[in-house]
Amino acid sequence: MLKEFKEFAMRGSVVDMAVGIILGVAFGKVVTSMVADILMPPIGMLLGKVDFSNFFISLSGTHYDTMAAAKKAGAAVIGYGMFMNAVIEFLIVAFAVYLVVRQINRLKKPAPAPAAPTTKECPYCVSSIPVKATRCPQCTSELKAA
Nearest CA among 81, 82, 80, 88 for reference residue 39: 88
Lowest mean per-residue pLDDT among 12-16, 71-75, 88-92, 137-141: 12-16
Rounded CA gap, 82 and 98, in Å?
24
**84-120, pLDDT tens digit by residue?**
888 888 888 888 888 888 888 888 777 788 888 888 9
Give the CA distances from residue 3 to residues 6, 14, 71, 72, 130, in Å, rounded to whole numbers and listed in that order: 5, 16, 49, 51, 54
pLDDT value, residue 145: 67
**5-57, pLDDT tens digit by residue?**
777 766 667 777 777 888 888 888 888 888 778 877 887 788 777 777 778 88
Backbone angles phi, psi at 143, to 5 degrees: -110, 145
Q: Is this prediction's pTM over 0.85?
A: no
Judged on CB neighbours under 10 Å (0-12, 13-18, 19+), 104 is exposed
**32-45, pLDDT tens digit by residue?**
888 778 877 887 78
Cβ proximity of 113 and 105 under 8 Å: no
For the chain, list the domains and their CATH numbers.
9-107 (1.10.1200.120), 116-146 (no CATH)
